[in-house]
């Protein structure tokens, strides 16, 4: 059975690493398509090298652009790949423009779509990610839900056929690659390189469109909060946020922020697992913090991962200095809630491969 898998962004490379291995074990032939949505070497190439993912059969090189232009160019190029490869299934991940473009191209050509991470909802339709995930869910044949909450979200929208609570493939990745990271020689050197001590720093990321679209004023508010925290804040800077961050630091004198280039997934796992706290607007990092027993402050008004809010392991904060500081310093997580294991048992990739190879391919 041939599967065309469409990826384009950093989190999708990580998810694909474990699912691709499971598909290969199940006897599937996978054709990997990289749209080029993330094209910076630190956001793309390094992941294929570190995670042992086969090089993409197709590199579409779409790059950045407005949402409509980027999605449209991807749609055209993915359609050409499907015409060439004639797969039985097109597999997409998450909620990026690459996700929607892959799903639309397949659906228009009557190729069944499998959506990994289906059913997530922030209920904020201003988010491009929310638009992408809702549209993708409604044209997918297989809906692989990481949690029971995601299953219930789909049920509210009348989607019950093809729904599978697979568990979260990111948990699979974290459990596997954290051990890999610990065993690789030299990987732990990142702490010495950055001049930080495990457990005595906070880790932050900023990249969401709703953060950057608020402009320099929002970055100033966030950085002013970071400046008031008792530990150094390590901030691997996303290309989208770099200019704003550098401008804020240049004019504001924020000495408590250690701005660094993006790091590979293995180094990011080491930084996350050893952080005192995570502060982020990223959906994926919220979960990784949960998996690694690290408290998190989410710099957004809502989260798709409501399970992480249980017991105060993740708290939401406005993009305002006072609220961020208050949430960062006052929240004490409850260890007992972790026994519920809402994200599965770490074998989601095998569940997905099993459903795709054994399930009936029809609408």
The interaxial angle of helices 216-228 and 321-330, nearest 10 deg, is 40
What does the alpha-carbon distance between residue 300 and residue 4 come to, in Å, rounded to a whole number?
34
Q: Where does the chain show beta strands of DSSP type E?
A: 2-7, 29-34, 58-59, 89-93, 113-116, 142-145, 163-165, 201-205, 232-236, 257-260, 277-280, 296-298, 314-316
Strand partners, 93: 116
Using only the alpha carbons of the chain, give its radius of gyration. 20
What does the alpha-carbon distance between residue 196 and residue 170 come to, in Å, rounded to a whole number?
27
Whether the CA torsion 79, 80, 81, 82 is positive or negative: it is positive
Burial class (CB in 10 A: 0-12, 13-18, 19+), 92: buried
Identify whether the C-beta of residue 61 lies closer than 8 Å to the C-beta of residue 36.
Answer: yes
Among residues 110, 207, 238, 293, the one annotated as catalytic is 207
CB neighbour burial string for 289-300, b if at least 16 within 10 angstroms, e if fewer: bbbbebbbbbbb
Task: Assign 3-state DSSP to the chain and report helix, strand, coil percentages, each to 5.
Answer: 50, 15, 35
CA distances from residue 204 to 79, 82, 85, 134, 231 in whole angstroms, order as listed: 37, 39, 41, 28, 12
What does the alpha-carbon distance between residue 113 and residue 312 come to, in Å, rounded to a whole number?
36
What does the alpha-carbon distance between residue 299 and residue 306 come to, in Å, rounded to a whole number?
14
Active site residue 207: yes
Active site residues: 207
């Amino acid at each position: 059975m041939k599967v065309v898998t469409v990826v384009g962004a950093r989190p999708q490379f990580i998810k694909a690493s474990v699912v691709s291995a499971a598909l290969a074990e199940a006897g599937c032939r996978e054709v990997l398509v990289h749209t080029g949505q993330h094209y910076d070497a630190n956001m793309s190439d390094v992941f294929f090298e570190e995670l042992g993912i086969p090089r993409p059969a197709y590199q579409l090189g779409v790059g950045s652009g407005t949402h409509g232009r980027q999605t449209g160019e991807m749609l055209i190029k993915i359609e050409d790949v499907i015409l060439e490869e004639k797969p039985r299934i097109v597999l997409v991940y998450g909620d990026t423009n690459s996700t929607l473009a892959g799903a639309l191209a397949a659906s228009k050509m009557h190729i069944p779509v499998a959506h990994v991470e289906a059913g997530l909802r922030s209920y904020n339709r201003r988010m491009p990610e929310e638009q992408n995930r809702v549209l993708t869910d409604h044209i997918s044949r297989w809906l692989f839900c990481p949690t029971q909450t995601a299953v219930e979200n789909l049920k509210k929208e009348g989607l019950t056929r093809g729904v599978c609570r697979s568990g979260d493939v990111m948990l699979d990745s974290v459990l596997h690659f954290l051990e890999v990271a610990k065993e690789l020689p030299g990987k732990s050197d990142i702490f010495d390189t950055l001049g930080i001590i495990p457990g005595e720093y906070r880790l932050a990321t900023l990249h969401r469109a709703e953060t950057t679209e608020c402009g320099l004023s929002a970055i100033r508010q966030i950085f002013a909060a970071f400046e008031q925290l008792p530990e150094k804040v390590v901030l691997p800077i996303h290309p989208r946020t770099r200019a704003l961050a550098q401008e804020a630091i240049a004019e504001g004198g924020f000495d408590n922020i250690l701005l660094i280039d993006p790091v590979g997934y293995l180094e990011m796992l080491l930084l996350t697992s050893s952080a005192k706290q995570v502060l982020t607007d990223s959906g994926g990092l919220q979960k990784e913090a949960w998996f690694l027993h690290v408290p998190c402050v989410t710099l957004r008004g809502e989260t798709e991962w409501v399970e992480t809010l249980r017991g105060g392991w993740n708290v939401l904060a406005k993009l305002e200095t006072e609220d961020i500081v208050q949430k960062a310093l006052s929240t004490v997580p409850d260890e007992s809630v972790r026994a519920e294991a809402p994200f599965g048992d770490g074998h989601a990739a095998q569940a997905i491969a099993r459903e795709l190879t054994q399930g009936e391919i029809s609408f």
